[in-house]
Structure 1
Amino acid sequence: MGRVFVAGSINMDVVATAERHPRVGETVAGEAVLYFPGGKGANQAVASAKQGVPTTLIGRLGTDAFGQELRTFLAAQGVDLAFVKDTAGTHSGTAIITIANADNTIVVVPGANAQVDANDVAAPVLAKGDVAVSQFEIPLPTISAFFRRARAAGATTVLNPAPAKQVDKDLLDLVDILILNETELGVLTGAELSDSDTPARFAEAARSLARGKIVCVTLGRRGVLALVENQPLLVAGREVKAVDTTGAGDCFVGALASQLANGRPLRDALTYANIAASICVQRMGAAPSMPTAQEVGAVLSASRPGEGRDP
């Protein structure tokens, strides 16, 4: 079995729920305020660790109360925190989230996440068969340094370019598997896309990013479209009643990484990750909503009894 290493952000999510989102300049009455561990790096690490795969998180926390709570929570989920540093003089990453009708708006304040550097990602020793995962909530030069080390060690690199921003070709060339949604695909390619577009339209846009890598476009309830050697592979999603979509994409990334580290074929790994994300959206919160391997396995067995065997 390989291991999963996640270099990324660790946040406390401060969540306000309301009947609807306010318009610009408007105040609406909220229903509740909740606190959940989050951050894309932490979410993805928890999603992987809960599948029973050895998972190490690389990142930074502030020396504040949120930092202490986050460290305690992540350790309880089985995430290896040997490479998570406490950083004086700054606060832990914080996300301000509004949820209305299962849709969310998010403002992220990076705090200690902005100080994750090349020295941090140089500390862990990766090996062939490992999976190195990162996202865009830590500095891009740090991600490049992480992926260069991973590539040199023979590990598989997985990038989730979120929150979406322009990125140079040199970083993308270090990526083996790119996982993004339609919004992020539009930002990286300059294409005008919407969630109602056909899979063929997404495949057309994704081809400009492929250049020898696998591109996975997550389509929510419609599933995921993977472009493998320029050939589209569509894996159907699972219809559920969503309660909170925060962290669903991170759940997909972490679950997929765990299955790749286990040596699963790509189609099986995509199916598994889809199911994990469908369970995640039926719960409140980001990191706390990540399902266990037993929960995913139960759905997998019920929906496709033969799933899990190599074709």
Structure 2
Amino acid sequence: MGKIIVVGSINMDLLFRTKKRPNLGETVKGIEFAQFPGGKGANQAVAASRLGSQVQMVGSVGKDEYGKILKGHLANEGVHISTIKEVDDSTGLANIVLDSDGENSIIIIEGANSKVHSTDIDDQLFESDDILLLQLEIPIETVIYAAKSAKAKGAKVIFDPAPVKEIPEELYQYIDIIKPNQWEAMELTKTSNVDQAASILLEKGINNVIITLGGDGAKLYTKDIIKHFAPRKVEVVDTTAAGDSFSGALATALNKGKELDEAINFAIKVSSLTVTRLGAQSSLPSIDEIGGE
């Protein structure tokens, strides 16, 4: 079994709970404030580590208190942090407004995440049985370089295109699995239909398109099939880490030799438990909690 390598963001999440999220120009009363370790990259790294994977994190934090806290937290979670550098910038921040329905709005301050460069990626980092997890909270040039380097060594590349931004066509050739949610898929492809969005992504040469549908489960698209995976009915508390827990679980299951269908069902199970709890990494389940699968 190989390792899971995450090249991505490391943030401190500043969470504001409120009954309803404010409209433009509106002030609303908050219920609670809390801060949690976050960042899509770090979330996915912790998700995979808690599920039993060997995980290496490549990223950047600032030379500040948040940076120290986040590196220490990742190390305590069993994530290898030798490839996390400290830079002369503030650690990345995410301002999350969470409403009583468990839905959120998020503002990201990149900070040190903007300093994750291709020079941080050692060509010897990847082996053929590894899995690379990528997102879009670091420079796109670094994402492309990491994907290309991993692919050259025969590693599997899973790409979570969030937050959505313009993606150079070059990147698609290195991706084995792309995993947007329904809104990201449509925004990425400039369409208003999930199936059409998947078709466009397949045409770009990606073999497996997984689109998560929130409370409606997920869909897998290949050139031969379209398959729907049923959701699990749960009481939603916080959706912040839903997508990241799915990605970490998907990578873990594939890393353990599971078939893609089985890996998707496992990822749905993990993300369903994640959304019943508050916070990003604090909500991520361990392998024992989800039944030791």
Q: State the TM-score, normalizing by the size of structure 2.
A: 0.96
CA contact (8 A) 2:117 2:142 kept: yes
SS in 1 for 2:179: strand
Say if 2:14 and 2:33, in contact at 8 Å, map to a contact too.
Answer: yes
Per the alignment, residue 199 of structure 2 pairs with 207
Question: Secondary structure of 1:34's match?
Answer: strand
Distance 1:61 1:115 in 2: 9
Of residues 6-15 and 255-264 in structure 1, the stretch that sits farther from structure 2 once superposed is 255-264
- Provide the C-alpha distance between the structure 1 equivalents of 2:5 and 2:107, rounded to a whole number of angstroms: 26
Q: Which amino acid aligns with 2:214?
A: G
Partners of 2:43 and 2:241 within 8 A in 1: yes
> SS in structure 2 opposite 1:80?
coil
Partner of 1:278: 272
Query: In the alignment, what sits opposite 1:12?
Result: 12
Q: What is aligned with 1:288? A: 282
Inter-partner Cα distance in structure 2 for 1:126 and 1:205: 31
Separation (CA, whole Å) in 2 of partners of 1:170 and 1:254: 25
Residue 75 of structure 1 pairs with residue 75 of structure 2: yes
State the shift of 1:123 in Å.
5.6
The CA deviation string for residues 63-115 of structure 1, in whole angstroms up to 9 with x for no partner, is 1111111111111111111100111x210000001111211010000000001
Aligned to 2:89: 90
Name the counterpart of 1:254.
248
SS of equivalent to 2:235:
coil
TM-score when scaled to structure 1? 0.91
In structure 2, the residue corresponding to 1:278 is in which secondary structure?
Answer: helix
Q: Which SS does the other structure have where 2:121 is aligned?
A: helix
Q: Where does residue 232 of structure 1 map in the other structure?
A: 226
Retained in 2: the 8 A contact 1:83–1:123?
Answer: no
SS of the aligned residue for 1:31 comes to strand
> More displaced, 219-228 or 57-66?
219-228
Q: Structure 2 counterpart of 1:15, which letter? A: L
Determine the C-alpha separation between the residues in 1 that align with 2:106 and 2:143. 22
Q: Give the Cα–Cα distance (whole angstroms) in 1 for the partners of residues 33 and 142 of structure 2.
A: 33
Match of 1:36 in 2: 36
**C-alpha spacing 1:96/1:188, structure 2 compared with 1 (3 Å):** same
- Amino acid corresponding to residue 52 of structure 1 in structure 2: G
Structure 1 moving runs of 4+ over 6 Å: none
1:203/1:225 contact within 8 Å kept: no
Secondary structure of the structure 2 residue equivalent to 1:82: coil
Q: Deviations over 1:37-75 (max 9, x none)?
A: 000000000011111110111000001111111111111
Question: What SS class does the counterpart of residue 217 from structure 1 fall into?
Answer: strand
Q: Which amino acid aligns with 1:74?
A: L
- Alpha-carbon distance in structure 2 between the residues aligned to 1:86 and 1:57: 13
1:305 maps to which residue? none
Residue 62 of structure 1 corresponds to 62
5+ unaligned residues in a row in structure 1: which ranges? 194-201, 299-307
Instruction: Say if 1:28 and 1:120 are closer, same or farther in 2 by CA, change over 3 A.
Output: same
Deviation at 1:221, TM superposition (A): 1.8
Deviates more, 1:208-217 or 1:112-121: 208-217
Deviations along 1:125-152, one digit per CA (max 9) or x if unpaired, are 2111110111000001101110111011
Q: Contact (CA 8 Å) 2:232, 2:269: kept in 1 or not?
A: yes
SS in structure 2 opposite 1:127? coil
- Identity, % of aligned pairs? 37
Q: Contact between 2:218 and 2:229, CA under 8 Å: does it hold in 1?
A: yes
CA positional deviation for 1:242: 0.5
